[in-house]
Amino acid sequence: MTSDAYTVSQRDPRHQCLIYDGAPSRYLDHLGQSLIDKLNTNHRCLYLNSPAMVAGMRSRLVAIGLDLPTVLERGGLILTSDQEHLMNGKFDVDRMIMRLKDALQQALADGYSGLWAAGDMTWEFGSERNLTKLLEYERRLDQFMQQNPALSGICQYHCDTLPPDAAQTALETHPALYVNATLSRLNSGYRRA
């Protein structure tokens, strides 16, 4: 294993990005396994994506063997496609950071060790394609994660649906690149905020 790769069991990077093209469903098994791994370490998990992808994740989690009704009933997992962080269809950095802050505080108050969140940036970003806002969000999220070690997650960047420069933003703002449920790569392009 090279020095820029490590298994999740050796080191668990908290702010990762998954940059991909093609069908997002190809990554549901890996993300689903990562989600289950976090549930097994007493983390509340939040999966934010389009309605179709949320339905796909539900199916994959059941196929992987998760007792989904029990986990949902206990509140350990939140599967959502709401876009409360958008203002008139536009991405609101403050609202999104506040949403994560509130979700983290609630998870800790409910007795969880932390919050693990996975979100698709195309869905989170809404109809706006303002890369300046995306960069601001990722920088602020990275700072928030540095200040709050109980928060971790994976930002998904679907290159087919985001502006061409979005992948560069992802590379600059994430310490690790998600490969699959057991492998991440240290990101040499990361520039700490």
Confidence of residue 84 (pLDDT cuts 50, 70, 90): confident
- Domains of the chain as residue ranges with CATH: 5-186 (3.40.50.300)
- Percent above pLDDT 70 for the chain: 93
Nearest of 68, 70, 101, 98 to residue 85 by alpha carbon: 98
Query: What is the pLDDT, as a whole number, of residue 87?
Result: 74
List pLDDT tens digits, range 30-63: 999 999 999 999 999 999 998 999 999 999 999 9
Nearest of 132, 116, 138, 95 to residue 41 by alpha carbon: 116
66 versus 85: the higher-pLDDT residue is 66
Q: Where are the alpha helices (DSSP H) in the chain?
A: 28-39, 51-64, 68-74, 93-109, 121-125, 131-147, 166-173
Q: Torsion angle of alpha carbons 82, 88, 89, 92, nearest 10°?
A: -80
Query: What is the side-by-side strand order in the sheet with 77-80?
Result: 5-7, 183-186, 176-180, 15-20, 151-158, 114-120, 43-48, 77-80
Q: How far apart are CA 135 and CA 64, in angstroms?
A: 34
Query: What is the pLDDT, as a whole number, of residue 123?
Result: 77
Q: What is the pTM of this model?
A: 0.89
CB atoms within 10 A of CB 97: 17
